[in-house]
Structure 1
Amino acid sequence: MTAPSEESVVRLLERAASIGVWRLEPAAGRLSWSDQLALLHGQAPGYAPPADDPLRHYAVDSREKLEPLLRACLEEGREFDEESQVILPGGNRRWVRSIGQPLRDGAGQIAGAYGAVQEIAPRGLQPGTLLRMGAALESGEAFATVDRNGQYTFLNEPAERLLAAPAVQLIGRRFWNSFQKTVRLRLEEQFRSACSRGVNLEFEELDARLSHWFEVRGFPFGGGMAVHLRDVTSRRRAQEQLRLLEGSIARLNDIVIITEAGPFSEPGPRIVFVNEAFERRTGYSRDEVLGRTPRLLQGPNTQRRALDHIRAALEEWRPARVDLINYKKNGEPFWVDLDVSPVWDKQRKLTHWVAVGRDVTERKLAEEKIQHLAFYDTLTKLPNRQLLMDRLHAALTDPGRPREGALMFIDLDNFKVLNDTLGHQKGDLLLQLVAERLRSCVAKGDTVARLGGDEFVILLENRGDKPLDPARGARAVAERILTALGEPYVLPGYLHHSTCSIGVTLFTRSDRTVSELLKQADLAMYQAKSAGRNTVCFFDPEMQAVVSANAALASDLRQAWRENQFQVDYQPQVGADGRMIGVEALLRWQHPTRGTVPPDQFIPAAEETSLIIPIGRWVLDAACAQLAEWSRRPDRKHLTIAVNVSVRQFRHPEFVDEVMQVVQEWGVPPGKLKLELTESLLADGIDVTIAKMGSLKDMGVALSLDDFGIGYSSLSYLKRLPLDQLKIDREFVKDILVDANDAAIARTVIGLAHSLNLDVIAEGVETEEQRAFLERQGCGSYQGYLFCVPLAIDQLEAFMDRLQEEAPA
């Protein structure tokens, strides 16, 4: 089969693109118009104006612009490209694009000019809505984002212009309401389906004004969908495709390829024409591609699905449009928005295919950037929570996968200390280094994600290309991580040492959800921290049982506070002579179904839920109210009440003011109120602790250090604390007669208290032998079952009345 002549190609392009060509030779007095150009001016085929008046059919203002341009072309060889108006026989005007360039003879001298005229405002459009093709190719696309409910959240200026409304009016509206009513329900269903399945959305529909067709391409991301809009009214109405004529339209940027009509089987239709834009974009010359098929532009990443779509369209003689990856002659890939259309002769016989390709590489890169922002952490470049959840969900539900593996939750130990002491900049740098080391610890295909802060998650899967025993694989990866993250980090001006805690949960073909797996791995990680950090812990059901029990206890605790289920009991404290010197206020919880809940069970839960703040305030108020009542009785006014203060309660910013307020409200002597503080207060923030204790001491409130000797005691701190009393813990008293170590500790505490001029009291005294031993060592105050169990206030009053009756006169 022979290639068509250049003349036939030109005629084909004129007919397909509504473009006419002209040729002017002033010296010979010749001006020739193509038949298509005559039709464009409303004239009969074969018509042309006189050579001495080539601009006869242009409007006056257009002639004034074109005359000097044409003269410069004929005299100086300058090319021109101008938008103008022509007058039709009926008096109507038509916008056209006029292109001209010099015609030279064999010696290179200017012999005339030739060019083309293209209609750029198709009939039927409102005045002022010009399709400025050249500008449109270079302008930005209309872009908007919608949330998962389909409501606009952002529109750029081109989108505002396209939708004929400002963004402030459109934001919050459903985007499918921008289209005609008959399709809105279908568009809503397609949108929600695309979002739920994470697939792209593509359609063309008439707008709500029923005046413009819009092409819509949606790309889902974590927050909804990024939407590109384009006005395709012209293409929909006229089915015109931009055709670049050789020479006359060489400066346009769209690639044009014309092929034979067939064959559809191998090797496919052969190329009969390409424009200069094709040569510039691909690096192939025209001679290199004529007679070959467009397959030469395909490469390793050219999408098979897009090629199948084109092939199916060719076989059915219908247009096709795809985004396709093509390859230049040097092997560099580029994206094209490819529009393939059939060309028919007057007998409706398919003669050729015309493919117009627009380079959309920059748009694709922008889309990839949006995808990256939606699914990757900007600091570490690791997958973020959204992408991790998607991959984990696929690992659990995809029938094509083994659906077994391990989920690892990794938390850096003491990361907050680095951030607080060296600043967030070094903290961010550390996180980036950690991310690199984590990636080096896993195989290709495993997921390393950052949840946020210093929390990372690794997903290991048993795959056909990488068989994995979940337990052994997770153990091996965890050991590598502990080693890698334990190596020093070189930060600017600082060598940092860090460790991590790892929690692991295994999954197989189970009905556990993504959320459940994350919770289990998180629980195992906290178990690793409780075990001393820098270790790995695997999840077991007992952890979940403990967490569930703690959650139920916390819920019951809140209800108990609302329903006043708490009460204050009092345990007497006695001096060396056996007389009562005061009491300790003890919080008790009587639950309707649990019964009596031990304090060592519910106090930690109250601390964790912060209920200890209002509960502690209530106990303090009850103690002062009782002191006020006793102060009115001569036989009771000497008594003190010791109140336990938790770490969280003591560190509350308003604690000192609350103590002062409650003491003043009840009008009690501050020295009768004794606050028992735990040694854990000394773990950190010692200067703030001492300052608060000093404020309480200045008020006259007595201070006792509870459970002395079992926690964070330091002699260097102890001498700085404004204490009144040390309290020997019951653990040392219990075996004081049989354990030499406990006896030595008790003697040391008593001696230390005396040397610091502090009172000392022992709790948990249950036998006379224990009391006698303590008395011999110099301890003169006691508390325990030897004297009395904790009692409700009415029982305590009765107990003290009996003591008075039994006392010798």
Structure 2
Amino acid sequence: MATSMSMDPVFAREPGQLLQLVEQSVSLGFWRLDAREGRPSWSAQLARLHDAPEGYAPTLEDALARYAGEHRSELRAGIRACLEEGTPFDLEVQLHSMQGRRTWVRCVGQALRDPGGAIVGCEGLVQEIAPSGYAPGTLLRHVVSMGGALGSGEAFATVDRQGRISYANGEAARMLAPGGEPLVGRKIWSYFQKRARLGLEERFMQALEQREAIELEELDAQVRHWLELRGFPFGSGLALHLRDVSSRRRAQQHLMLLEGSIARLNDIVIITEAAPYRAPGPRIVFVNEAFERRTGYTRDEVLGHSPRFLQGPDTQRSQLDRIRAALEQWERVRVDLVNYTRSGEPYWVDLDVSPVWDESRRLTHWVAVGRDITERKRDEEKIQYLAFYDPLTELPNRQRLLERLGAAAGEGGPGRDGALMFIDLDNFKVLNDTLGHQKGDLLLQQVARRLRNCVARGDMVARLGGDEFVVLLENTPEKPLDPLTAAQSVSQRILDALGEPYVLPGYLHHSTCSIGVTVFGPARSGVSELLKQADLAMYQAKAAGRNTVRFFDPEMQAVASENAALAADLRQAWRDNHLAIEYQPQVGMDGRMTGVEALLRWEHPSRGLVQPDHFIPTAEETSLIIPIGHWVLETACAQLALWARHPGRAHLGIAVNVSVRQFRHPDFIDEVMHCVRRHGVPPGRLKLELTESLLADNLDAAIARMRNLKDMGVRLSVDDFGIGYSALSYLKRLPIDELKIDRGFIRDILTDGNDAAIAGTIIGLCRNLGLEVIAEGVETEAQREFLARQGCHRYQGYLFCRPLPIADLEAFIDRAEGGARLTPEPSSAGS
């Protein structure tokens, strides 16, 4: 193996005058280690450092043996990490030459890679830095360095094939990392401004891959100065020469600024003398034509005056303070500022103020270049408005409300007493569905104006979305109030104002609202908790009949928590198949069974039997009613299919209750059709019992869906008739087969004349419209006889049979066919 630089092909192809200078001027030896051969090659200078005889070709262990024992392991570990992981190293170690001379050297190394990037060896340099008495880590390392040999102020560094720094002298360290952090191993481009890194990395990698020189001028370093960089191929990497050109760059910038500013006719240019900013301030010595056009002032009017005459009532004091501070430090500053024209019109300007120096570094002038950004600021204001205000009503939106409510409730600072009012319009959806969204929007705009008129200046009215509004009342030093008293007064004003008629195009609309209020004070709740409390109180107002106000209290919260627990238990019961179906017979005038009603049952392990009127609303609110309703429908159709094969039961039908949400689901019609077809049951044996509440909104759509079911052959019944929303004028339009009299009218039918009259009216109405009628909750023979005299001949209730599981029901049917009859049970939990 070759022992001199001239004989080594790696070192023989090193170009560049810089490396020639280095080789001649400093005690610098080069080495290379081939990973496959395991033997190092070295330059003549390194052989001289080792006092090796001419032609000496050591093994790696022979070369390492020349270093002090405590340093030998460091070198060996560094070389191993370089060969295995490509990690460069930079070590100060003591060399024991072959003639016994002891000296301190700096040894650096980097990985050598093939064109594919695989590590095939490592290479580096060894430089003598001190005699044997040197203590590692002292300033001598930085004084006796390569940079010293290259001349004062010159910086030198090397990078490997990956662009990582493998060596840097003291001057390079000062330029790139004045804080003293280690450079070796870091990517060279990481020391420059972020905006330049990508292009810089590409230039370096191209030079490294193509083995060519690189020359870069005026690089913006992270330490806020400008560098000039030249690089030459060195081993598999590059040797770099860096020079600080910040002074030249600043001079060029100032010249370009002065010349370019005056040439740009669209930008305002003001040049002032270099006087202090304090009153009267620097005087104007030049303005361009753009300044005259934009401000309305002529050049003669402003020369000799301070630019302060452009300021006005909305000029930002904070930005003026920034300008003052920059001028006192002779620094450049850039601000967005409001100025005023001669006529008093405000306009926004992006103002860049820079100092100008002469050749002796004396400040001579200030140059201010301003770009008119009024339109941009207007656009930003529009964007800001859209982010925090509702465009329809021009009220603050949810985001703005949350910010204001957070401040009032003491999030991030001291809070205030206040009241939060949640307002929801009653039956707003009916207006949208019947008269259209355009009239609905007009109504919302009128509601917003009325709400603003109901509150004092400083209180907030916001729109959450849809027909939901919020009012925030705050107790402030400027507007002291008792939150509870104020909320009572304002809520009554709102009820009165929103209850007045609304004039819409071609229509006089009447509407009401429901209001929920929560009061907050020293014992504060979070924003989300306050909104939840006001919302909960609003729903209590809805439940109380609408057009009223309700205040949140802990009992209300307890009910809400109980409902949440019930919902969780219901989900678990559905997952664990703990819901069941029982069937209650429906009989005719002759006592013969005509069918049954499928009733959902839930036996809770700790709550016991949970009544349907308690958990069905929860299923509706959580949307569990959709899968539960589908399961009930499937079970009923499967049972009808079994009965169809039994001669004594084939005539029986099953009535299934359908919730509002289930009925309005887009797939409900198809679900019923597929269920009937899949089980092969006569559709006339299936009866769907619908509640009156589904007719309250969008009646036409409900009728269309009912007709689809009728066309299938399914029978339809309106359940609990008389307690819901139906108008008698709509009844004749409904494609139904039956009305079911609610048990509430049956319970006191023998003692309450009103109940008797209502039941008789419903029976007569069905007779006139050709509808069947059935009474539920029949528990005594006297009730049945009264109904029969009125013309109702179909019944359901404890008089005949309580709800039963399917096995008990079929046993009852078998006994009934044999003449058996159940004894009536006392009324407690009706059908």
Displacement of 1:598 in angstroms is 0.8
CA contact (8 A) 2:192 2:221 kept: no
Match of 2:605 among 574, 592, 597: 592
- Tell me the amino acid that sits aligned with residue 305 of structure 1: S
Match of 1:552 among 540, 543, 565: 565
- Tell me the amino acid that sits aligned with residue 343 of structure 2: N
* Partners of 2:594 and 2:416 in 1: CA distance: 69
* Partners of 2:377 and 2:251 in 1: CA distance: 24
Displacement of 1:568 in angstroms is 1.4
Displacement of 1:240 in angstroms is 3.9
Displacement of 1:394 in angstroms is 3.0
* Partners of 1:277 and 1:721 in 2: CA distance: 76
1:359 pairs with 2:372: yes
1:238 pairs with 2:228: no
Alignment partner, residue 261 of structure 1: 275
Match of 2:691 among 670, 678, 691: 678
CA contact (8 A) 1:503 1:538 kept: yes
CA 1:239/1:640 → structure 2, altered by over 3 Å: closer, same or farther?
Answer: same
Query: Which structure 2 residue ranges, 5 or more long, are not aligned?
Result: 1-187, 201-217, 223-247, 822-831
Q: Bigger radius of gyration, 1 or 2?
A: 2
CA contact (8 A) 1:260 1:271 kept: no
Alignment partner, residue 528 of structure 1: 541
Residue 258 of structure 2 aligns to a residue whose secondary structure is: coil
- How large is the RMSD of aligned CA atoms in angstroms? 4.0
CA contact (8 A) 1:180 1:209 kept: no
| 1:17-36 aligned within 5 A | none
Q: Deviations over 1:333-371 (max 9, x none)?
A: 333333333444554444544444443333333333333
* Partners of 2:289 and 2:666 in 1: CA distance: 77
CA contact (8 A) 2:332 2:352 kept: yes
CA contact (8 A) 1:407 1:504 kept: yes
CA 1:626/1:279 → structure 2, altered by over 3 Å: closer, same or farther?
Answer: closer
1:308 pairs with 2:327: no
CA contact (8 A) 2:407 2:415 kept: no
Alignment partner, residue 185 of structure 2: none
CA 1:214/1:789 → structure 2, altered by over 3 Å: closer, same or farther?
Answer: farther
* Partners of 1:423 and 1:789 in 2: CA distance: 48
Displacement of 1:806 in angstroms is 6.3
* Partners of 2:317 and 2:805 in 1: CA distance: 83
CA contact (8 A) 2:398 2:464 kept: yes
CA 1:759/1:244 → structure 2, altered by over 3 Å: closer, same or farther?
Answer: closer
Displacement of 1:691 in angstroms is 5.8
Match of 2:402 among 389, 392, 398: 389
- Tell me the amino acid that sits aligned with residue 812 of structure 2: F
Displacement of 1:724 in angstroms is 4.9
Displacement of 1:653 in angstroms is 5.3
CA 1:486/1:744 → structure 2, altered by over 3 Å: closer, same or farther?
Answer: closer
Alignment partner, residue 448 of structure 1: 461
Residue 243 of structure 1 aligns to a residue whose secondary structure is: helix
Displacement of 1:730 in angstroms is 2.0
- Tell me the amino acid that sits aligned with residue 465 of structure 1: E
CA 1:259/1:467 → structure 2, altered by over 3 Å: closer, same or farther?
Answer: farther
Alignment partner, residue 586 of structure 2: 573
Match of 2:744 among 702, 724, 731: 731
CA contact (8 A) 1:338 1:357 kept: yes
CA 1:257/1:600 → structure 2, altered by over 3 Å: closer, same or farther?
Answer: same
Match of 2:482 among 454, 469, 480: 469
- Tell me the amino acid that sits aligned with residue 257 of structure 1: I
Q: Deviations over 1:469-508 (max 9, x none)?
A: 3233334433444444444545455554444433333333
- Tell me the amino acid that sits aligned with residue 395 of structure 1: A
Displacement of 1:735 in angstroms is 1.9
CA contact (8 A) 1:727 1:760 kept: yes
Displacement of 1:252 in angstroms is 6.6
* Partners of 1:770 and 1:604 in 2: CA distance: 30
Alignment partner, residue 338 of structure 2: 325
Q: Deviations over 1:491-530 (max 9, x none)?
A: 4555544444333333334553323333333333333344
Displacement of 1:588 in angstroms is 1.0
Alignment partner, residue 745 of structure 1: 758
CA contact (8 A) 2:597 2:654 kept: yes
Alignment partner, residue 142 of structure 1: none
Q: Deviations over 1:648-690 (max 9, x none)?
A: 4444555555445444444445554444343445545555655
Residue 406 of structure 1 aligns to a residue whose secondary structure is: strand
Displacement of 1:622 in angstroms is 2.5
CA 1:453/1:235 → structure 2, altered by over 3 Å: closer, same or farther?
Answer: farther
Q: How many residues align?
A: 592
CA contact (8 A) 1:690 1:721 kept: yes
1:299 pairs with 2:289: no
Displacement of 1:603 in angstroms is 1.8
CA contact (8 A) 2:538 2:550 kept: yes
Q: Deviations over 1:742-796 (max 9, x none)?
A: 3343444445555556554433233344344444555444332233322112222
CA contact (8 A) 1:402 1:463 kept: no
Which moved further from structure 2: 547-556 or 593-602? 547-556
- Tell me the amino acid that sits aligned with residue 736 of structure 1: I
Which moved further from structure 2: 638-647 or 559-568? 638-647
Alignment partner, residue 116 of structure 2: none
Displacement of 1:599 in angstroms is 0.7
- Tell me the amino acid that sits aligned with residue 450 of structure 1: R
Q: Deviations over 1:259-318 (max 9, x none)?
A: 3433x5444444455555544444445555455433333222222212222222233333
* Partners of 1:717 and 1:282 in 2: CA distance: 71
Structure 2 length-normalised TM: 0.62
Match of 1:209 among 185, 199, 203: 199
Q: Deviations over 1:522-557 (max 9, x none)?
A: 333333344444444333334443333333333333
* Partners of 1:515 and 1:791 in 2: CA distance: 46
- Percent identity of equivalent pairs: 69
Displacement of 1:244 in angstroms is 6.8
* Partners of 1:589 and 1:445 in 2: CA distance: 52
